[in-house]
Every structure is written in structure tokens, then in C-alpha cells.
Amino acid sequence: MQRSEQPTTCMITSSRGGARARTFAPCLAIKSPGRDPSSVRQEDILSVMINESRESVVQSATMGSLRRGLLASLALLFVNLLPMALLLPVAHGAPAAGTGKTKISAVFVFGDSIVDPGNNNNRLTEARADFPPYGEDFPGGVATGRFSNGKVPGDMFASRLGIKELLPPYIGSDLQLSDLITGVVFASGGSGYDPLTSIPATAISSTGQLDLFLDYKEKLKALVGEEEMARVISEGIYFTVMGANDLANNYFTIPLRRHQYDLPSYVEFLVSSAVNFTMKLNEMGAKRIGFIGIPPIGCCPSQRELGSRECEPMRNQAAQLFNSEITKEINRLNAEQSVPGSKFAYIDIYYNLLDLIQQPGLYGFKEVTEGCCGSTVLNAAIFIKNHPACPNVYDYIFWDSFHPTEKAYSIVVDKLIQQNMQYLM
């Protein structure tokens, strides 16, 4: 399928196996951290030794023994360089963007379909995306289970932070040690902080995702030992992305919770559940947790369809109320420090995504009310299997009726990193 490309986007187009793969290069300039002083000294020593060897070659040539001098000097250089090379430090993880020597060993993500890269693929659920048109702009044009046309935020966080290009699902993928030691995703499409939210979608609940994390820790310990496992867990950075399903697909759709709670009370219940999740994750060893709030769900194409095609105000107000209350709790957790050395950050996706929706032309978008694959409540997941996509995805903020396009995700993730990473370092 040929598409008109927008020259204003940060995009790279390549061909793999005959299929076009469109990816978006980071638009955020990330400065390289300074070198470790010990590393500089070792490199200086190596430089001096190389220069001395060169001088030895020149002296040998002057005496008419160029060949013998050259061979001798090269041998001397090898003998001297070998032990020095063995002393060079081995890197564990990547320095954080613009944070000096702070290391990030791995990226771990918990959440819902915004960040699920395929954990639902083998589940008996309607919340799946391992079929076309999903993934048509993913490298190789493969539908991996990511709920978008290409990469999703977990991949982008890992890539921007210098860990790896793709963040794999923990379930159902052939993970190598290099995959495990640099981070995985436990998220499941259809999940939420409310335990009832995951039931209709047969998704992995938030509690189930924590159980998977415990399983991951044991698996990693068996492979690398307890000390190295503890280092990876402690130096890792964690993101949690849930709450949208609790409001859009549970409270505002299924009557049960509305009979039990008015909206402020339900939001209070959600906030309490989210805090408990975060504290349990913290107690399991996660020291740096980025808590991504609820996006403006009332502006999703599926929610616009319920009213006048404008953003549905009550759903957006509910998201804002949750984000406001969880921010207070995040501040409290930072103050209390129940696990010393922990850092928590509220990450605002609401206004960053809303900015794209309200000023689409500024970011090269033309369509904000419909998804590239349709806009009705059922234009997502299994309901659009093999559904034709629009020919000009780069004009669209939303891929289906719930989930943004790779281009929109890329812009938002760059903003989130620029605004928030310093609070987790």
C-alpha cells in the first residue's frame, strides 16, 4: 500500500524482505554523558603506549632495521595492550539521558493495551492485535500483538533510553538472556487497576502482572545469580500505564460499579488500587517508578461516537480527577520513602496527547476525530481483523478507535522523556 509521506515527520522508511517498514526516529536530542575518569586514564595510557611504539618503529628505520623494528614494536604493543584491555570496565546498562553517571540496566512496563506488545496473543480474548492491519508499519510489516500500526510506547522508552530497540512481551516469546536482563513487558490489553476490569476482556489483571514479575525475578536469578538479578532489578526503570479501561470500559460501560460508587468515589477507589499496586512493585525491588496517568479518553474516536463527535466531557473530567489525585499520592510516596532510595514520578500523558488533538496541524496531523481503521466503538482489536486501513496513516492521530498511531506515540513519548526523566534519576 503506497502512502503519501509527510516531510515534517521524524520518520525513516526502509525495506525488509520486500515489505516497507516505517519507523520514527527520535525527535528528542539526548546528550551523551561524560566519561568515567578511570576510563579516560586508561585510554590515555593506551594512547601513550601506541605513540611510544610508533617512535620505536621510527628509530628502527633510522638504524636500517625497519622490518625487525616494526615486528618487535608490534609484538611489544600487543603484549602491553592486552592486560590493559582486560582492565577496561564492562558496561552494565545505559547511562540515563542527560543524567551523568546514573545507569539504567533495564526497562520494565506494566499496563494495558497502550503498552502490550503481545502478551495477549495466546489468550482466549477479544483484546488481541496479532493480525492485520495491526503492525503494517512495524519492521517487516508483522502484526506482533501491539495495538498500533507500528511500535508502542514501551519500545520507544527502551530505545530513547539506550537500552534496546524493541521491548518484548514476557509471555509467549522466545526470550534470550539478553532480552531478560534488559527488560520486558508484563502489560495486557484490557487490564486495569480495578480487578473487575480485566474479567470481561480475560486480560491479565494488575495483580497477575505482579505475579509475572515475581516469576521473572526467579527466572533471572536462576540464570545469572541472586546478586546480578538484584542489580538488574534495582537499576531498572519501571513504567505503569493503566486506568483508561477502568473508566471507559468498566465504570461508564458496565452498570455494576456505577451502582456501587458515584464517580468521585470510584476514582478514589481506583487511586487506592493504583497506590497499592505501586507500593507492592516497590517492595519487590523496583526503585524508580514512572506512573503514567490516564489519557483524555473522552477524545478517543470510540468515545466521540457516543455523543456529538466532540470530546466526551464526563470521561475527560474523570481522567483529570484521577490524575490530580494520583499526583498527590505520588508526592506522598516520595516523602515517606518506605523503601529507601526510591523515586516516583507522575508522568502526564493527558495534556501531551490533548495538545496533539487540539493543535493537530502543529504536528503534521489532519484527522483527529476518526481512527485510520474506523471510529466506532467496535473498530478495535479482534473486531478489525483484516480490516482495510486508511492510505494516509501519517495524517491520523488514532490508528483504531482507541489507540494512537506510531507517529502520535513517538511525539508524545519524546515529550514525556523530556519533561519527566530527571525526576527518576
Which residues are known catalytic residues?
Answer: 113, 400, 403
Among residues 131, 251, 107, 127, the alpha carbon closest in space to that of 186 is found at: 107
Q: Are 257 and 306 in contact (CB under 8 A)?
A: no
DSSP SS3 for 22: strand
In the DSSP assignment, the letter for residue 297 is G
**Per the structure block, which three cell numbers stand in for 169?**
512481551
Among residues 55, 160, 133, the alpha carbon closest in space to that of 414 is found at: 160
Residue 107: left if φ>0, alpha if ψ -120 to 50, beta else—which one?
Answer: beta
In the DSSP assignment, the letter for residue 312 is -
Counts for the chain of helices (H) and strands (E), in that order: 14, 10
**Which residue is associated with the grid cell 466521540?**
304
**Residue 13 CB coordination number (10 Å):** 11
* Side-chain-side CA neighbours of residue 340 (13 Å): 0
**Per the structure block, which three cell numbers stand in for 408?**
502520535
What secondary structure does DSSP assign to 38-106, as a single string? HHHHHHHHHHHHHHHHHHHHHHHHHTT-HHHHHHHHHHHHHHHHHHHHHHSPPP-SEEPTT-TT-EE--
Q: Are 221 and 232 in contact (CB under 8 A)?
A: no
